[in-house]
Structures are given as C-alpha cells and as structure tokens.
Amino acid sequence: MNFQSSITEIKGIGQKKAELLKKLNIETVADLINLYPRSYQDRRYITPISQLVPGNTYLVRAHIINIVNNKFSYGKKKTLKITADDGSGRMEAVFFNAGFMANAFTAGEEYLFYGRVNKGYANRLQMTHPEFSQAAKETLRGIIPVYPLTEGISQNEMRKWQRELNTYAENAEEFLPADIINRNNLCSYSYALSNIHFPKDEQKFKEARYRLVFDEMLQLQTGLLAIKKASSGKNNGIAFDKKIKTDDYIKSLPYPLTRAQQKAAGEIISDMESKNVMSRLVQGDVGSGKTAVAEIAMYKAVKCGFQTVLMAPTEILARQHFEGIKERFSAFGIRTGFLSGSVTKTQRETILEMIKTGSLDVIIGTHAIIQPDVKFKNLGLVITDEQHRFGVNHRMLLGQKGKNPDQIVMTATPIPRTLAVILYGDLDISVIDELPPGRQSITTKTVDETRRIDAYRFVKGQIEKGRQAYVVAPLIEDSDTINVRSAESVYDELHRFFSENTVALLHGEMKQKEKDDIMERFKNGKIDILVSTVVIEVGINVPNATVMVIENSERFGLAQLHQLRGRVGRGEHKSYCILINSSKSEIAAQRAEIMINTSDGFIIAEKDLELRGPGEFFGTRQHGVPDLKIANLVKHIDMLETVKKESLVILAEDPLLESEKYAGLKTKIIKTFNGNLNLKM
Ligand code: ADP
Ligand code: MG
C-alpha cells in the first residue's frame, strides 16, 4: 500500500464503505490522510469518579465489578449494565439493545470509559453508551480527533483507519524545497500530517496546522499568480480616443448617475484612454447599477470604432442584458447581437459571420462567446458580468479574442477584500458603494415550516396590491432530477393555494424558449408568482416584484441569499424577504439572524466566507477557486503576506515550475486546482 493506493486496500474498507467515502471525495490513501479533523477532544486527563459532575463529559479509568444483562428483555434487545469502581467511587455504564455486546467486558479488568455523565436510578452516576476500551490499550486517551463524516461512517471507524494510516503519514515524502522550509520555520510534511491527526500536545498541533495552512495558501497563491502572469501584457493596449465623449449616452439614461457610478465610469474611461491594458474589477452590491457603468464603457468603445463583448453567466441574465442594451443602443445606431448555446446552428453561423466582418458592434451572450470559432474583427473591450460565476481562465480566454483588449469584470457578490486581493491581485478595483436614491430597505423575516401558510398569506396580500413574488427552492447539488422535483412540488402546492392567481415554474432544465416566455410574462406582470430554482439568482430585474420567499433557506450560502433577496426592492414599492428555515441547528439560526440584521453585502460576504470557506462561498465549483481543507482566508489572513512573498520568489526563480526543486509543489498545485488550472506548466 502507498499514498496512491485505493482505500479498499485498508483493512475494514470494502466496496460499500468505499462508496460512502467517495461522498467525501476520498478514493486514495492520500485522500484519507488529507481528511483533517474538524475538531479535537481533549481526553488527556483521567477524572476520579468521585469528582464527576452530571452533565459533563469525562474520561474515567475503573475496574469492572459487576456486569448485568437485563433479564426482562430478549436476544439482541438486552440492556447491558456495567458497574465500575476506580477506588474513589462507583459509576454505571449502560448499553441498550446490547445483547451482542455481552462478551465485550470481563469482570475484574480495568477499562477506560469516555462519555457524558448523567444521574441514573437512585442518583447513581451513569454513562449511557460511553466509548470504552481496555485500559492497557489507551486508544481512548489523548487528544482525540473528530472527523467530518458522512452517513454510514462512524467516528470510531474513521479514527481507527486514521490511526492505522498514521505510519504512512509519518513517512510522507517532503515536497517543499529546504530553503522555503527554513525561511518560514516550517515543520516537515510528515510531522505535520502525523500530528494533525494525533497531536501529542498543543504545541505539536500548532506546528502541524501552521505547516498545512501554509502549504494550502502557498499552493493557492502560487497557482493564481501563475495564471495572472500568463495573462498579463501591460503596456501595449488600446488608447481609446480622448475626444470621443460619452455624455450623450449618459444623458439618454432615464436617471442621473449616482456619485459612485460616475466615479467608477470615470475610472474606467481614463483607463481606456491610456495605453495600458485595463484590468478593472467593478464591485458593487446588488442593485447598485453596474450595468449602466458597463454600458457607458461599451458606448465609448464602439464610438471609438471597436467591438465590445459582454459575457454573463446565465442565459436568462444574458438575454435580459441584450434586450435592454439593444434597445438603448439602437437609438445611437449601435448594432447589438446575441450569442448563446441555445442559438440555432444557422443563426449562429450568421452571427459569427457578422462578428467576424464587423457588422455587429456589441455582442452579448453566455460563455458560448469564448468558443474557439468566435472571431472578432477588432475587439477592444471585454466585460464579464458576475465574474465570480466564471472560472479564473474564462476571463483570460475572452481577453485573447482581441489584441490586448481592455477588460472589465463586474461582480455583485461583494468579495471580501481579503479574498479579492488573492483572486484579483492583478486588477484595479472600482467600488460602487452607493445605491440609487429612493431604494427602500427590504424587510427580512424567518419562519419555520409551521408558519409557511402565514408566509403564503402574506404573499397573497402583496399580490392583491398588484405586486409579484418569487418563491425559490434550493438546488440540490449533483442531483438535478431531485432538485427539479422539489421545485415542482412547491409549484404544485402554490398552484393549489393561489388558485386565483397565475403561478409559473422556472428551472434550469427547461427549454430556452420556455424560459424566455416565462421571464417575459413575469416582466410584463402576467405571472403573479414565479417559483424557481436559483437560476434567477443573478441579475434579474423586475421592479414590480416585492416578495422573495426562499424555501429551505438553510441550504443556501449567505451571499447567495443576499443575491436572491436583491431580486426584490428594485422599484418604488416596499419589499420583503421571507426565509423558510427548516433547520433547527444553531448555525442556521445564526445565519438567519445575520440576514435579518444586515443589508450590507460586504459584511454578509465576509461572514459567509468565514462560515463556509471560499469554495462553498461561491456556491459552485466552477469558479476556479479550490476548496481549502484547513486554511481559512479570514482566520489566517495574517499569513497571506508571507505566503505571497514566497510565491513571488518561487515564480521569479522558476516561472513554469519546471525544475526538479519545485516538482513536488507543482504536483500539489495542479491537484489543488483540480483541473481548473489551465496553465502551460
Ligand atoms: P446591478 O449592479 O445589480 O447589476 P443593475 O445594473 O441591474 O444593478 O441596476 C439595478 C436597477 O437600478 C436597474 O433597474 C437600473 O435601471 C436602475 N438604476 C441603475 N442606476 C440608477 C440610477 N443612477 N438611478 C436610478 N436607478 C438606477
Ligand atoms: Mg448586474
């Protein structure tokens, strides 16, 4: 057996367990060793029975003085009651349905028991179903890891496997060069792996954790910096004509720009007019008006004689942009085209031809735009909306469609500054930190299952006032069928409850035509309630909608909830968000609390990142940011500077990590990015 061996080679892991472990992305010995404990229990100290306080959890060492199998029950259902004495006092250990355990204990021998103490019959001290082992074995004692699990795998099984694998961990090969280890005072990789699972003391645990967090951040940072290096070519960009102004377009908008929009547009225009290649991130909360800013830049590019592209992550959003922008631009003689996966083959051929010959100025669409056969005549500006939904490489690919075109990426998921530094370290950032005037704050409430009817009644009231509502059901990962059914069942229920109103269902697996029709009818007020999956999460703009009901809100990330909530409160009417929380967990309550009290997307994003880590935070694996196993970008932010310096040193020495020295690190980086890293390295 080695690190690459299948886990089925481990004693006690057969096909069945292997299937279950796959859910935790564990297939090899290395994967299992890299499953780090979620927390630890300090069971180093043994407590005399005389000092036990009911309600607390202890490790006890005592001799068994009595074993009783309850005679009133039969077979496997028997209750097993053990009395143990450690010289200071007595306690009982009780096991229900434990006929099969009759031979687990031997009277007179000494055992370790670990569990919560309660008061039993006649005030006797009792542990119900404690963990136990023979005292000589001592496997219960020490700093004991607690692993993240999946159904069908027990904590004890996991601990047993990990304990067995510890000899492998202890022999893990070092992959970092000695100079990096020395400069940063790191412990060896083998030491780290062994001690992260079974640390002897706090000091060793801290050394181990530091090393592993450092590794992860180094892999993330070096990978991202390498991507950036490959994509930057600075001084040879387009200098858009200073004499071409955008005032006419700005005047044509139905509202004056906010101060924040003016500032962002100003920064963009001056970047465009310079010879440098613009790489600018426009960050602004939901509804802050990023689209208008993008339009101004596009207008400028077209009037200067260049083509421009706007790429959006979903078909619905791309179409919405297309319809609005086409209408506004046509007044200025600007020709706008649309491209997505749902465009028919013949249409597509025509559009590709028009893009190539320059008879379209503006192309709006989905990632269909980055297909290799899409060729531009003279692409000068590329804009990516909701950038966080795209992989890191998409931005690069889009940029390669022109000769160093200027680039804008926009995101309505406010990325916490910490993460922005890592993800977009090469970008200049414009922040739109102001909402257009007249926006009402959105009232957020949470209810549990029992009050769903109240929520529906509330929706009814709004509809009677002429408003519209969204009801969103969660998207269950990697099971589209289940997800569709659940949205459908919500739809069926609402259909009955709101029999006098028009209820429609929208989800990602519908035909494009169907989706378009429904969105169109919702926009025109012909549908009162739109039941949907998160396909409406980003960018959708229907100002008359005033209620957002989110089913199983505990299943969504905070940033995602904030996005969804941002679908309402876009017009003049008071708006509401109702979270139907079906979880009783503490975390779910905490998260709901944050949503109720916070409307600032930045704060929400920060909390979300802290609670869920960056992978989960973005809600999708497509974003190109790997999930971190142990590093936490909020908690370990202090380390970032050190790690970044180290990454820069590494890449300066060996930009493509070709040398033997960095071979190990390179392998790790590629694995970390799990195919998302399209480096020529
Ligand atoms: P986001 O930043 O979330 O992409 P949008 O660009 O979709 O926001 O804008 C949200 C809504 O606000 C749109 O209906 C848009 O027309 C409107 N809007 C944008 N800028 C202003 C402004 N300065 N004043 C009033 N309404 C505005
Ligand atoms: Mg938008």
Rounded Cα distance, 1 and 90, in Å: 46
pLDDT value at 73 more than 70:
no
CB 79 within 8 A of CB 98: yes
Residue closest via CA to ligand 1's atom 18 equals 289
Please determine, for residue 681, whether its predicted confidence score (pLDDT) is greater than 60: no
- Partnered with residue 432 across adjacent β-strands are 284
Parallel/antiparallel/unpaired status of strands 57-69 and 80-85? antiparallel
CA 537 to centroid of ligand 2, rounded, Å: 11
Measured from the CB, is residue 262 less than 6 Å from ligand 1?
no
Ligand 1 atom nearest the C-alpha of 286 is 3
**Residue 398: pLDDT band by 50, 70, 90 thresholds?**
confident
pLDDT at 550: 93
Q: How far apart are CA 663 and CA 656, in angstroms?
A: 10
Residue 286 CB less than 6 A away from ligand 1:
yes
Beta carbons of 634 and 588 less than 8 angstroms apart: no
Instruction: Using the mean position of ligand 1's atoms as its centre, give its distance from the Cα of residue 234 in Å.
Output: 32
Residue whose CA is closest, atom 9 of ligand 1? 289
CA of residue 287 to ligand 2 center, whole Å? 7
Indicate if ligand 1 lies below 6 Å from the C-beta of 257.
yes
pLDDT exceeds 60 at position 478: no
601 in ligand 1 pocket by Cβ < 6 Å? no
Residue 160: other Cβ atoms inside 10 A: 15
Q: What is the pLDDT of residues 634-650, one digit of tens each?
A: 677 778 888 988 999 99
255 lines ligand 1 (CB under 6 A): yes
pLDDT of 251 strictly over 90: yes
Tell me the Cα Rg of the chain. Answer: 30
pLDDT at residue 231 is higher than 60: no
Tokens, residue 288: 């802050």
145 token code pair:
């890891």
pLDDT recorded at residue 416: 64
pLDDT of 612 over the 90 cut: no
CA of 411 to the centre of ligand 2 (A): 7
**Higher-pLDDT residue of 334, 234:** 334
pLDDT at 624 over 60: no
Q: Give the single-character DSSP code of 662.
A: G
Neighbours of 560 (CB within 10 A): 26
Q: Is the pLDDT of residue 246 over 50?
A: yes
Asked if the model's pLDDT at residue 472 lies above 80, the reply is yes
Q: How many CB atoms lie within 10 A of CB 464?
A: 11
pLDDT of residue 679: 46
Share of the chain above pLDDT 90, in %: 54
- Only one residue has tokens 């310096």, namely 645
> 284 CB under 6 A from ligand 1?
yes
Contact 84, 90 (CB under 8 A): yes
For position 417, what pLDDT does the model report?
62
Q: Is the pLDDT of residue 401 over 60?
A: yes
Distance 386 CA to ligand 1 centre (A): 15
411 lines ligand 1 (CB under 6 A): no
User: Could you tell me which residue, 287 or 174, shows the higher pLDDT?
Assistant: 174
Interval 89-98 mean pLDDT: 90
Residue 273 pLDDT > 80, yes or no? yes
**Cα of 231 to ligand 2 centre, how many Å?**
25
Q: How far is the CA of 139 from the centre of ligand 1 (A)?
A: 62
Distance CA 394, CA 492 (A): 38
Q: Is 320 in the pocket of ligand 1 (CB under 6 A)?
A: no
The SS3 of residue 73 is: coil
Cα–Cα distance measured from residue 52 to residue 92, given in angstroms and rounded to the nearest whole number: 12
pLDDT at 286: 79
Mean pLDDT in residue range 51-75: 85
Question: How many angstroms does the Cα of residue 413 sit away from the middle of ligand 2?
Answer: 10
> Ligand 1 within 6 A of 562 CB?
no
Q: What is the pLDDT of residues 551-573, one digit of tens each?
A: 988 888 888 898 899 899 888 89
What is the 552 CA–ligand 1 centroid distance (Å)?
A: 29
pLDDT in tens, 506-550: 887 888 778 888 888 998 999 999 999 877 766 678 999 999 999
The pLDDT tens digits of the residues spanning 298-352 come to: 999 999 999 999 999 888 889 989 999 999 999 999 999 999 988 999 999 999 9
Q: Is 293 in the pocket of ligand 1 (CB under 6 A)?
A: no
C-alpha 201 to ligand 1 mean position (Å): 56
Mean of pLDDT values over 61-71: 87
Q: Read off the pLDDT of residues 352-386 as tens digits, 9 standing for 90 and up.
A: 999 999 999 999 999 899 999 999 999 999 999 97
Atom of ligand 1 nearest to the CA of 255: 24
Q: How many CA within 13 A on the CB side of residue 20?
A: 13
Taking only the tens place, the pLDDT of each residue in 108-142 is: 999 999 999 999 888 899 999 999 999 988 788 99
Residue 227, pLDDT above cutoff 90: no
Q: Give the number of other Cβ atoms within 10 Å of residue 161's Cβ.
A: 24
Whole-number Å distance, alpha carbon 177 to ligand 2 midpoint, is 45
**Average pLDDT of every residue of the chain:** 87
Distance CA 340, CA 175 (A): 44
User: What pTM, to 2 d.p., does this model score?
Assistant: 0.64
DSSP assignment of 561-579 equals: HHHHHTTSS-SSS-EEEEE
Highest mean pLDDT among 225-229, 324-328, 404-408, 437-441: 324-328
249-263, 328-342, 495-509: lowest mean pLDDT where?
495-509
Name the residue with the closest Cα to ligand 1, atom 24.
436
Question: 287 in ligand 1 pocket by Cβ < 6 Å?
Answer: yes
Residue 253, ligand 1, Cβ within 6 A: no
Nearest CA to ligand 1 atom 15: 289
Backbone dihedral region for residue 541 (phi beyond 0: left; psi -120 to 50: alpha; all else: beta): beta
Ligand 1 atom 23 nearest Cα: 257
User: 294: Cβ below 6 Å to ligand 1?
Assistant: no
Which of 255, 316, 321, 430 to probe ligand 1 with, by most ligand atoms within 8 A of CB? 255
Length of the chain: 681
Q: Is there a contact between 115 and 129 (Cβ–Cβ < 8 Å)? A: yes
Mapping DSSP onto H, E and C, the string for 301-355 reads HHHCCCEEEEECCCHHHHHHHHHHHHHHHHCCCCCEEEECCCCCHHHHHHHHHHH
For a mutational test of ligand 1's pocket, the pick from 252, 258, 283, 291, i.e. the residue with the most ligand atoms closer than 8 A to its C-beta, is 291
Does position 504 have pLDDT exceeding 70, yes or no?
A: yes
Which residue is closest in CA terms to ligand 1's atom 19?
A: 289
Give the model's pLDDT for residue 422.
Answer: 64
Distance from the alpha carbon of residue 342 to the mean position of ligand 1, in angstroms:
27
Residues 6+ apart with CB under 8 A from 91: 49, 52, 60, 62, 83, 84, 113, 117, 124, 125, 126, 127
135-191 per-position pLDDT tens digit: 988 788 999 999 988 889 999 899 999 999 999 999 999 999 999 999 999 999 999
